[in-house]
Each structure stands twice: as C-alpha cells, then as structure tokens.
Amino acid sequence: MKLLEILKGLNYKVIKGNISVDINKIEYDSRKIEKGDMFVCIEGFSVDGHKYIESAYDKGAAVVMCSKQLANLPDCIVIKVDNTREALAVGASNFYDKPSEKMKLIGITGTNGKTTSTYMIKSIFQHSGYKTGLIGTIANYVGEKKIKTERTTPESLELHKLFNKMVVENVKYCIMEVSSHSLSLDRVYGLKFDEAIFTNLTQDHLDFHKNFENYYKAKLRLFKNTNNSVINIDDNYGKRIYKDIIQNKITYSTEGHGDVMAKNIIPHSRGIEFDLYYKEQSVHVNLGIPGRYNIYNALCSAAACINEGISLKNIKEGLENVVVPGRCEIVTKEYDLGFDVIIDYAHTPDGLENILNTAREFTKGKLISVFGCGGDRDRTKRPIMGRLGSEISDIAIVTSDNPRTENPDLIIEDVIKGIEKDNYIVVENRRAAIKKAIEIAKKGDIVVVAGKGHEDYQILKDRVIHFDEREVVKQIIEEVR
C-alpha cells in the first residue's frame, strides 16, 4: 500500500524522504521487520521502540515513524507524530482498509464479567443466525475458527488484522473484551462501537492505574465513541457512568429499577433460573452456569442484543446454550465422588467473593477453597483475597498462582496477612494444593479452585509450564480413588 494512504487522517511531519512510496507492511517490533516495512516506535513501560531504529533499518525498514526528536536520522523516510500509539491504530486501520467499519462492534469493559458476557452475546447472535467474531481473554474466534490470544485486547496492529480476517469471512458482529489497559494505551483508538457495555468496577490493576479514579476514567473512554451504552445501574460506578455520558443508554438491574431486569431468581447447583423482563415482555431463562453474578452477565448481554433487534426468544435460546470455559466450571460431572470440584478464573477480590458465595449457596457440607495471587501484579489485593477466602470458606488452602518473577512464598505471605481465622493451610505447590483439597473433601462438600480457570499454563520466573486444571483434577482423582 502507498504510504500516503496509510497516513490518511494523521497529523504528521515528514522529517526526511519522499512519502510517495509503497509499504510492504507495518511493524512495531523491530525483530519482525522485513525489507520495505514501516517501523513504528512505541514507547512501552520497559522498552522504548526508539532505541531499535537502527536495528529496524538494518533489517530493511523503508520508513520509521517516531514521536521523539532523533539525534541520528537513519537513511530512510522518517515521519514524526505526536503519539505513535494513536498513529499505529489509525495507520493499521488504513492498511487493512478500515475493516472495523464493515461490521458491527460490541465492546465490553469492567473488572469482572467481560469474558462470560462475550460468550453469551456470541451464543445469542449465533442462535439468531449471524456469523460472529470474538476477541478476548480465553481465545479469539473468527466464526467457529479458534485463534490463540496473547492478551485480553490485542495491540491495535493485531486488532485490525483480526478485524480484516473477520470481514473476509463475512462476520456480521465482533464482540470484544475491552480492557482498561487497552483503553489507556490506545489499542482501540478510533474504533466506533455500536454497543458499549459496562459490567462493574472493583479492585484490580491498581499497579497500573495507581488509583480508582484513573481506573474509572480509563473505562469511561469506551463510552465516548459508541452508538449505545449498556450500563449496570446496580453498580456504584455504573451510576456514575450513567451520569457522565449523554448518548443512548439502556440499563440493567436485579434490584428493580433497570430497563432490562431479572426477577424470580432461583439458584441451584447446576445453574440459575430467572425471568428476564424488558418493557412489557418477559421470558423464563434457565442458565446453565451457577451464580447470581452471572445473571448480570446475562442481562447486559440481553440488553445489547435487544438494542440490535434480537428477539427475547432468541436471547433465551442463546443464553441457555452458552458454554464458557473456566467460568464456574464443574469439572467432576463424570465422577460419582459425592462432592464436586469447580474451577474458576476469579483472580480479584470481587471475583473470589462472587464464586465462593455462589458455591456456598449450594454447598451441603464444607466449602473448600484453593487460591493464590499472581506475581508482578497489584499487591494491595492480596490480603483482601486472603481475608475473603478464609471468611467465606470452611477450609482455605492458600497456594501459588502465576508467581512470574516474584518469590511465591513472599506472595503467599502477603495473602495470609489478611487472614484473621485459623481455618487455612499453606501448600505452595499448586498441584499439591489441589490434591490436598480433593483428599480432604467428603460427601456434600464443594471444592473451588480459583485463579486460573481456562488457562492451561503456569508462569514460573523465566519459564511457562503446561498446567491445565481440568487435566490436573482428573489425574488426582484417578490417583486418590
């Protein structure tokens, strides 16, 4: 593509060279540069792309886009912009012929519920006859084709490449998780959403945002460029978002004052039933995922689909047939143990509290929890999770999660600082912790293994090992039976 076409809509200054050239492709990783590429210098937290200009040029970069004044200019075209992250987003969109404008985008933001809600909406659209795409934590999908994901919301270059694949495959709707990081780092810069959904705001990512106000403002950015906003009006920050935005708004609630509501809620061990109301219409939903908090996920999904003209009948069908890996997933259905093991992705205080309270509702015996906290992440939530795990569980087993570069024993020390009861034990090795829980479980008990859910790996210092808790639980059951 002509460089001039890539630069359309950007405010830029040509520092050196003639921009009437063809560009092979765009890259922000100098290691991926090939002859004729454009290298965009992104300033990260630990790496500054400007330091790799020479490397990119040596590999054949025809164009360098920077945001800093360069002391030494490479012998190629040099373009300067104010913000290379924004420029990357616009340039990538232009390079792939603005694919996001050729389908409908539905974006979901919030601390918890994003993943489950994307799967619910995907199921609803599919049962309504629409081909869909999904971008999120567990995986990316183009129709039924599953693509491995590296982060919740990809960098803008990869994002537009994915959009382009969806357009080629005639995808009508793309449902995507929009993380606070991606909003702050301009990964979704310039995107126009047909539906923007707010689930909730609770403690997470304060290592990045520093305080709740910054966290909230990052989330708010999603609602500045959308046709419709779908808001959890039961959440305090949802009430604030409702006041802070002016475009079309639809609210959802279980407390009786939303546009879309759930009434007559009946929880049980294998799911939860409720009546979904919108205006004068209602439909009974038997959701196959336990947990009152999943009603909120169902309601926001229903509200967005109602805005898109989907009938309550199709919404019911989609919700009742949804499957979400690693979200309140009972992994012992095939065994007659007398107790069940549930795995869940809960890795925040609110998430852990939700899954444990959910399990408590249908636990006849003891509730046994296995949980830890990730390394190189928000340390302030660790003692909070320790306190919640101990308070709600009958037995809490504190273990390792993804310690990354931190010492797992020190992470566990942070967790147990919040524990006031003596109903906990520490088993640092995660597999051994799960085995301990299964060994002590008796008839009527529920074991909740929280923190990893769908993940099939564990990050230990400088290596990643295979660790799929579905497999681990089954192996342990075979060992102890």
| Reported confidence tier of residue 388, pLDDT bands at 50, 70, 90 | very high
Q: Is 464 helix (H, G, I), strand (E, B) or coil?
A: strand
C-alpha 314 chain-centroid distance: 25
Tens of pLDDT, residue by residue over 210-221, are: 677 887 888 899
Tens of pLDDT, residue by residue over 144-157, are: 999 988 888 899 99
The answer to whether residues 81 and 103 belong to one domain is no
The answer to whether residues 150 and 185 belong to one domain is yes
The answer to whether residues 258 and 127 belong to one domain is yes
CB-CB contact of 11 with 91 (8 Å): no
CA distance linking residue 370 with residue 13, whole number of Å: 55
Q: pLDDT value at position 168?
A: 98
CA-wise closest residue to 245 among 260, 259, 231, 255 = 231
Q: pLDDT value at position 203?
A: 52
Q: What is the CATH number of the domain that holds 88?
A: 3.40.1390.10
- Model confidence at 209: pLDDT above 70: no
Tens of pLDDT, residue by residue over 393-415, are: 999 999 999 999 999 999 999 99
Structure tokens at 387: 């306190």
The answer to whether residues 192 and 304 belong to one domain is yes
Range of the domain at 23: 3-95
The answer to whether residues 64 and 198 belong to one domain is no
Which of 68, 95, 122 is at the close of a domain?
A: 95
| Reported confidence tier of residue 208, pLDDT bands at 50, 70, 90 | low
Q: What is the CATH number of the domain that holds 309?
A: 3.40.1190.10
The answer to whether residues 148 and 117 belong to one domain is yes
The answer to whether residues 22 and 77 belong to one domain is yes
CA-wise closest residue to 76 among 90, 62, 86 = 62
Pick from 77-86, 203-212, 240-249, 341-350: least confident: 203-212
Summarize the annotated binding site for ATP as residue ranges. 110-116
Query: What mean pLDDT is predicted for residues 184-193?
Result: 94
> Which residues have a Cβ under 8 Å from the Cβ of 51 and sit 6 or more positions away?
none
Number of H helices, E strands in the chain: 16, 24
Q: What is the CATH number of the domain that holds 334?
A: 3.90.190.20
- Model confidence at 205: pLDDT above 60: no
Query: What mean pLDDT is predicted for residues 54-70?
Result: 97
CA distance linking residue 374 with residue 406, whole number of Å: 9
Q: pLDDT value at position 460?
A: 93
- Model confidence at 202: pLDDT above 80: no
Query: What mean pLDDT is predicted for residues 78-99?
Result: 98
Tens of pLDDT, residue by residue over 226-240, are: 999 999 999 999 999
Which of 95, 116, 132 is at the close of a domain?
A: 95
Q: pLDDT value at position 204?
A: 54
Query: What mean pLDDT is predicted for residues 285-292?
Result: 92
User: Which residues, in sequence order, are bridge partners of residue 284?
Assistant: 275
Query: What mean pLDDT is predicted for residues 278-295?
Result: 94
Q: pLDDT value at position 207?
A: 56
Which of 265, 299, 320 is at the close of a domain?
A: 320
Query: What mean pLDDT is predicted for residues 344-366?
Result: 93
The answer to whether residues 23 and 81 belong to one domain is yes
Summarize the annotated binding site for meso-2,6-diaminopimelate as residue ranges. 377, 401-404, 451, 455
Q: pLDDT value at position 333?
A: 86
Query: What mean pLDDT is predicted for residues 49-74?
Result: 97
Alpha helices, DSSP H, located in 311-405 = 312-320, 349-362, 381-392
Q: pLDDT value at position 370?
A: 98
The answer to whether residues 182 and 295 belong to one domain is yes
CA distance linking residue 281 with residue 202, whole number of Å: 32
Q: pLDDT value at position 247?
A: 79
Strand order across the beta sheet in which 132-135 lies:
145-147, 140-142, 132-135, 173-177, 104-109, 193-198, 226-232, 248-253, 260-268, 271-278, 281-287
Query: What mean pLDDT is predicted for residues 452-477?
Result: 94
The answer to whether residues 109 and 233 belong to one domain is yes
The answer to whether residues 450 and 472 belong to one domain is yes
Structure tokens at 447: 């074991």
Q: pLDDT value at position 396?
A: 98
CA distance linking residue 347 with residue 463, whole number of Å: 21
Q: pLDDT value at position 46?
A: 79
Q: Is 220 helix (H, G, I), strand (E, B) or coil?
A: helix
* Domain count within the chain: 3
Summarize the annotated binding site as residue ranges. 30, 110-116, 152-153, 179, 187, 377, 401-404, 451, 455
Task: Name the pTM for this structure.
Answer: 0.87
The answer to whether residues 91 and 167 belong to one domain is no
* Residue 22 DSSP code: B
Phi and psi angles of residue 277, each rounded to the nearest 5 degrees, phi first? -115, 140
